[in-house]
Chains A and B, each alone.
Chain A
Amino acid sequence: MSAPLLEIRGLTRTFGGGRRWFRPNQPGVQAIQGIDLDVMRGETLGIVGESGCGKSTLARLLVGLDTPSNGTIHYAGDDLQQLRSQDRHALARRIQYVFQDPLSSLNPRKRIRDILAAPLYYLRGLEGQALERRLGELMEMVNLRPEFISRYPHEFSGGQAQRIGIARALAGDPELLVLDEPVSALDVSIQAQVLQLLRRLKDELDLTYLFISHDLSVVETISDRIAVMYFGRIIEQAPTYRLFRSPSHPYTRVLLDSAPIPGGPPIQAEAGTAELPDPLAPPPGCAFAPRCSRAQEDCRQAVPPLDNMSPDGDHRAACIHPIKETWQRIVTQSPRESRG
């Protein structure tokens, strides 16, 4: 197996409180708690989780918009923080970011030309003719008419604005794109257009994607591998087909069972009012235990490690009592879930 493009080890980000996060007398909110994750070159890794699980914080750490409190990120063997301190642009040339809200990520008082020219000029040093040519290429790449380049952002629809956001991210010729909910703000018909575009660009430009979304079905269509996050931790990761065939963590099952499919079977709702734990007073042990129907005493003792669920080691789940049965929407109506 080749070395991963991105190697994340023990990544932690604490907000508020002290930097020394393990001291109990300095409580802070741990948005990310010791994440280990590898991203292979050329793959699309999906990251799924609900609001507040830390997926956006993870994205901001990766592109250098935020600095980890602890842990390391290595990009193709180089330490990300060192890379950042050596050259302000080194990181931006390799990893780029696509924002969730396409319109608010474009300066309302700048023309598209200025928005796209900035990364070309500052990251790649292009000027004059070369810059113009590249601008034309970028617009063509994301299927936008060349005359759009002298317009202002408010003249575009959400889908078009997101294409511009993607073009800007691609302008610096990055190898890795971190896409933070790139289609969540778009209508379904436009969403499919943008997903198609992303798929095509990945093939044409040999990109690696880290695709973050709360929408399982979107992540499923685009990802080779999926990592599920809950409360700042990765609780399960597996190749896409395996995750959907046999999700091991009860939380993954809850997610799958709650997603409505057009014409699909009835969704399963959790009983009671299941909510995220209080980040200022996290529960001991597994953070999902208070919501989990399978939780036992040992779940509340210590945080379960990310264990292998398959012999080849590419399916891991952080659960002491993982579910072994395969998942199928219609058959999941085991007594504990079919209520009401």
Chain B
Amino acid sequence: MTIDLLEILLAGLVAVPGLACAVLALPAWFGHRFRESTIVSIIGSAFAVTTLSAAVLVVVLLVRGETEIGAHLGEWFAFGHDRFALVLLGDRLSLPFALFSAALVGVIAAFSRRYMHQEVGFYRFYLLLCLFGLGVEIVVLAGSLDLIFLGWELVGLTSALLVAFFHERPKPVEHGLRAFLTYRVCDVGLLGAAAWLHHEVGTAQMIEGDALAPWDGLPVPSDALATAVVGLLLLWATMGKSAQVPLSGWLPRAMEGPTPSSAIFYGAISIHLGPYLLLRAAPILDASPLTAWMVVAVGAATALHANFVGRVQTDIKSVLSYASMTQVGLIFVEIGLGLRYIALAHIVGHAALRSLEILRSPNLLHDHQHLEKAIGSTLPRTGLHLEWLVPKRLQPWLYRHALERGAFDALLRDGVVGNWTRVLRGVDRIDRAWTRRLGGPSAEPPVAPPAPKEVTR
């Protein structure tokens, strides 16, 4: 096996899901719809090939004792000093992620064949799942922050569309928009960090670290302030994708989507892309203690918040979403403290367990009864240690805090978004008034309510 073949295998981890997306999307646009079994076969085969390729790469690297392989696919585009190099990086961080993600997408595709059978949006579900798989493979294998951003955007878009999958009901749509709004606001951090790295270092490509560095990471600006700025921007980007406080309110609402997509997005892969990015940014965290401690603080706050709030939830998907949030918060703490291998193991273990739990969540009552039968009594209560640890006087306050989800949602909705909306609507009113002044009263039509008219084309 030559190194060229390995590069082809590495490129195939992105190309095969991309091809599957094209095979599904193009005929659909032109009016041809595949049968359900064909759709599942296309995606299943694509991600089986991807999984196999990733597994081969892992084995070959292990056998050879190498730590990484890069595929330089040339420049996507270049102009002046700006070059967008297509570099994929397979190393001991990205390959386990790529392998695990591809396998999970394949498993979810197979699982959903029955779960989504005869569902109106069957085709849409699988196309979005495939696009998501493509986005994830791009993010984890990207050799530069620019390329990560590309995949990151795809993941965000597909996530919001899948949250709103049951689009004829208003709530899923509202929650999809909320998730997208959070993603979009936080994506500013990722693009900002990439731009700032270009400004400070001249590149946003991963570079080889020192001998102690476990894997390649983002370059570090020479200036401490710039390093902190880039680090904090990256932290901001991860806070949205991984639902860290105070931006965590979208996650339990995102469970409105189909259960298989909830499992893979919010139990397994999408929610762990934040920690993945922070692992890639390890050199920046090492160089900027401020950023590292901020990561610890955000993670710890999230873990505590989600732990308490999750205990008062009354539906299984909300409980699981807060459980996910708790674990991801802990992973943030581990990364901030420099425990990177532990964080990597934690991510893979948590993703596997949580996605299984979410997939089984529709069987909650059955499982509950099964367990009770097995042990011959009702299940024991959990969380008694909290009653022992938390002072009595604090318990009512904590319970209320948990019921209100820490008031973060209200704070964001009314305090931030609400105030900004009021200010912007005020500016809009001034603009309308100015136009009326120039053109007379009828220059500005009143805000029209929705009014269906006859169909005229």
Note whether A and B form a binding pair. no
- Residues of B bordering A, CB below 8 Å: none
- Residues of A bordering B, CB below 8 Å: none
